[in-house]
Amino acid sequence: MLDNLRVVHFEDAQLFVDAVKEYDDSSLNFTFGSLLDNMDDTQSRSQARWGPKDRVLLGVYQGDNLLITLTKNAQDFSWMMAVPSRFEESLSTEVVNNAVELLARSLPQVVDPDRMDKVIGPEEVVDTFIQAWVRHMADIGISLKALPPYFRSRVSYATASSLLPPSPESSCRAISLAHRPEDITSLIPLVIEFSSHGPVPSTEDTARAEITEAVDAQRVWLCRISDTVAGYIMVGRSTPRTVAIRNVFVLPQYRRRGVAEAMVRAVTRYYLGAYPLGFEGAPEGPPICGTKAEICLNVADENAVRLYKRCGFLLDEDARDSSTGRKGSFASIWRGVERVAGI
C-alpha cells in the first residue's frame, strides 16, 4: 500500500451507496446521482439508451477516508471519477499520483482493459489517471494513446444561502411542472433538438421514453408563452442532499427574452425550499424527491455561466459557500484513450 492507500471493489451497488452517502454533495452528484438513477426501476426506459447495466464501482481509501471514486454504470456510459469535496483542496500531488497509480494497477484485475475508454471528472485527477493508465498498459504490452479532451466544463452548485431574492421576471412567466399527456407530446421535439448537440442524440422513441418517465416523476418544468411551450428544464441525479439541473432548453425563437433565467431561478428556489418561491406554478408541499441542500449543474458555455451566476450558482473562480467555506466550482474534463493502430 502507498501512503496507506487501498482500492476497494464494491461488487454490490448498495454497499457503494452506503459508503459514499456521507460524502453526498455536488462533488459526487454525477457519480452518486447517476448510479441512483441507474438503480431506479422507474427509469428503466430512459436508462436503456445507455445499453445493458455494466457496473464497476471502485474507491481509493486512505485509512477510513474515501479519496477518489472510479465508477461505470452501463455499457455505453462513460467512466466517472470523483473526489469528495472535503478532500479536494487537501490532497497533495503525491497522494493523488499514488492513488491513481494504484487505480491503474488494480483496474485490469477487475475488468478487461479494453473497457476503459472514456473518463469524466475533475480535470487534474482525470488527466493524471489517463497518464498513469497509458503507462501501466505499456508495461503489460498494450500500447495506448491519450486522446484530446472531448469536453471541458465547470461543475457548480447553489444553496439557499447563495440565492438572490426572487426575480419579478419569474413571477410573470407561466412556469409549471409538466403533468399532462399533451405536455409530453409538446416536449418531444424540444428534447430531440436539445440532445442533437450531445454525445447520444435522441430518436423520437427514446425522447418519448425519457420525457414520459421524467414527467411521471415530476422532474420536468415548462415555460409557456401564449400557450406554446417555449422551453423546459429537466432535473435528475437526485441524491439525499442534492439534485442536478440536467437539461435547460429554450426554442430559438424565444431566446434572449429571459426565459431560461426565469426557469432556472424558479426551479432552483423550489428544490432548495427557498421561500417565497417568486412564481405561482409550483405544486403545494415539498418536491417529490425531497427538499435539497444543494442544486448542481455542469456548464460549459460562457453565456450560460453568466446566467447561472445571476441565479446564485457559485461559479466565480474564488467563490465559496458562505456556510461551509467550500469552493463553489471545479474544472471538469471528459477524455479518453484508444489503442495505437496495429499494436
Q: Give the 3-state secondary structure of 200-240.
A: CCCCHHHHHHHHHHHHHCCCEEEEEECCEEEEEEEEECCCC
For residues 135-160, average pLDDT = 95
- 253 contact partners, CB below 8 Å, separation of at least 6: none
Range in 70-74, 237-241, 300-304 with the lowest mean pLDDT? 300-304
Tell whether the model's pLDDT for residue 173 goes beyond 80: no
Question: At 244, is the secondary structure helix, strand, or coil?
Answer: strand
Q: 11 pLDDT band (50/70/90 cuts)? A: very high
Question: At 83, is the secondary structure helix, strand, or coil?
Answer: coil
Distance CA 330, CA 129 (A): 17
Q: For 121, phi and psi rounded to 5 degrees? A: 165, -165
Which pLDDT score is estimated for 159? Answer: 97
Tell whether the model's pLDDT for residue 196 goes beyond 90: no
Report DSSP state, residue 167. P
Which pLDDT score is estimated for 72? Answer: 97
Are 222 and 232 in contact by the 8 Å Cβ rule? The answer is yes
Tell whether the model's pLDDT for residue 172 goes beyond 80: no
Residues 33-54 pLDDT 10s: 999 999 999 998 888 888 999 9
pTM of the predicted model over 0.85? yes
Residue 338, H or E segment: strand 329-339
Question: At 85, is the secondary structure helix, strand, or coil?
Answer: helix
Distance CA 73, CA 47 (A): 10
Range in 98-107, 161-170, 263-272 with the lowest mean pLDDT? 161-170
Q: Angle at Cα 84 formed by Cα 78 and Cα 87, nearest 5°? A: 135
Distance CA 236, CA 219 (A): 7
For residues 213-229, average pLDDT = 93
Distance CA 102, CA 96 (A): 10
Residues 12-21 pLDDT 10s: 999 999 999 9
Q: 8 pLDDT band (50/70/90 cuts)? A: very high
Tell whether the model's pLDDT for residue 182 goes beyond 70: yes
Beta bridge partners of residue 233, listed in sequence order: 221, 248
Q: 131 pLDDT band (50/70/90 cuts)? A: very high
Which pLDDT score is estimated for 342? Answer: 63
Which pLDDT score is estimated for 171? Answer: 55
Which pLDDT score is estimated for 63? Answer: 93
Pick from 270, 288, 240: which is nearest to 32 by CA? Answer: 240
For residues 194-212, average pLDDT = 85
Q: 85 pLDDT band (50/70/90 cuts)? A: very high
Residues 89-117 pLDDT 10s: 888 999 999 999 999 999 999 999 999 99
Distance CA 43, CA 73 (A): 14
Which pLDDT score is estimated for 343? Answer: 52
- Compute and round to an integer the Cα radius of gyration of the chain: 20
Which pLDDT score is estimated for 168? Answer: 66
